[in-house]
Amino acid sequence: MSAFAQTQTNETFVLNLGPQHPATHGVLRVKLVMDGEYIVDAEPVLGYIHRMHEKMGENRTWAQFMPNTGRMDYLHALAYNHGYVSVVERAAGIEVPERAEYLRVITTELNRISSHLLWFGAFVLDLGGFSPLLYAFDDREQILDLLESVTGSRLTYCYFRFGGVYNDIDENFAAGARAFIKRLRERMPMYHALVTKNIILMKRLQEIGPISEEMCRKYGATGPVARGSGINFDVRKHEPYSIYPELRFDVPVYTEGDSMARYMVRMDEIEQSMRIVEQALDKLPEGPVMAAKAPKIIKPAKGDYYHAVETARGSFGVRVVSDGSNTPYRLKLRSPTFSNLSLFGEACRGMLLPDALALMGSLDLVIPEIDR
């Protein structure tokens, strides 16, 4: 990059990347100031799919906001369900039966695998490799079928309830989940052989788009982005919630901080999520899936409450302020990609356009979740 600094002149131009551009996976717009193919400055422009979920939350009852949570991060909707029900349960002091927590973890982790699979396909697509996408979709389809059988929907789930979940699983689901894990375990080596160890892919990702630990801290980046920069931070371990303390799993951490590290973190997370689902299925206790004493009308005590969960993209936090009525007084949604994307402007400075797009892909952006 030093050669670039020397030849830099004032002959720059502005390139509009988006809001309709194949690499931005949605309606994100990035205003790039370019010097040839070098990026001098980048400014993401947000808000194209802003829906003001937080205002919606103030205008409906606590329970009525549930469907909204599935429509922010549409790839890992169940984690958003989980974050919201957890904070309301914390505020209203609702106990959740153990079986329900197990079901929440099983479905959330399956959803995490599906999210990572889709990211994997879309990321390689960003790099110009089309075929892995369809293989990943093939696997993802199995998860969607499984989740559809229990939650009733395929993408924007609204499965959790205050005090439990809405539907119990049956034998077919457990058998199907186990069969799927067996199948995906067999296919992971294929993905690694065909994609991870591909020389072109390695050259495009290694040492490209470095993000330092300090940068993650200053920008509040979490999730695989932070873990790819050597930060051992996973809300499931860090601030344990639900039944995660009872399950054994590792948090993959890579110290390189480049796009490859973020790629590897997500690929390893798929394996860890499979471990979690298996253990949870083994340990699944009998019992009700809904708390018997769960109130029909929620009126949490005055005060404000926070709860964070780990989604596929990082730490998602909900802060609710209750005034004791049946609607939230204030609802703050802290979405992980909002922070993750905010470092893009600094991280891609001085990079070449294709590398910057690889970096953007490795951040795993879901635009509705950034814009909320």
186 binds other proteins (CB under 8 A): no
Inter-residue contact 284 to 99 (CB < 8 Å): yes
By C-alpha distance, which of 229, 228, 244 is closest to 79? 244
Minimum Å gap between C-beta 307 and other proteins is: 5
Which of 184, 201 has the CB closer to other proteins? 201
Residue 42 in tokens: 């980048």
219 binds other proteins (CB under 8 A): yes
Hey, which residues between 33 and 72 contact other proteins (CB under 8 A)? 36-37, 46-47, 50, 52, 54-55, 58-59
Minimum Å gap between C-beta 154 and other proteins is: 20
Which of 95, 170 has the CB closer to other proteins? 95
218 binds other proteins (CB under 8 A): yes
192 binds other proteins (CB under 8 A): no
Minimum Å gap between C-beta 21 and other proteins is: 7
Binding characters for other proteins, 292-331, by CB under 8 A (x = yes) = -----------xxxxxx------x-x-x-x-x-----xx-
Binding characters for other proteins, 136-175, by CB under 8 A (x = yes) = --x-------------------------------------
Inter-residue contact 232 to 324 (CB < 8 Å): no
Hey, which residues between 109 and 128 contact other proteins (CB under 8 A)? 124-128
Binding characters for other proteins, 252-291, by CB under 8 A (x = yes) = ----------------------------------------
236 binds other proteins (CB under 8 A): no
Place of tokens 């994307």: 341
23 binds other proteins (CB under 8 A): yes
Which of 185, 238 has the CB closer to other proteins? 238
Q: Which long-range contacts (CB under 8 A, 24 or more apart) does 284-289 make?
A: 284/99, 284/102, 284/103, 284/106, 284/174, 285/98, 285/99, 285/102, 286/99, 287/97, 287/98, 287/99, 288/97, 288/99, 288/100, 288/164, 289/97, 289/99, 289/100, 289/103, 289/164, 289/165, 289/167, 289/168
For helices 98-126 and 353-362, give the axis angle rounded to 10 degrees.
Answer: 170
Separation in Å, CA 326 to CA 77, 157, 284, 319: 24, 23, 33, 16
Report how many helices (DSSP H) and strands (DSSP E) the chain contains, helices first.
16, 8
15 binds other proteins (CB under 8 A): yes
Helix H or strand E segment including 5: helix 2-7
Q: Measured between alpha carbons, how far is 144 from 122 in angstroms, rounded to an integer?
A: 17
Inter-residue contact 183 to 316 (CB < 8 Å): no
Hey, which residues between 74 and 103 contact other proteins (CB under 8 A)? 87, 90
245 binds other proteins (CB under 8 A): no
Which of 119, 173 has the CB closer to other proteins? 119
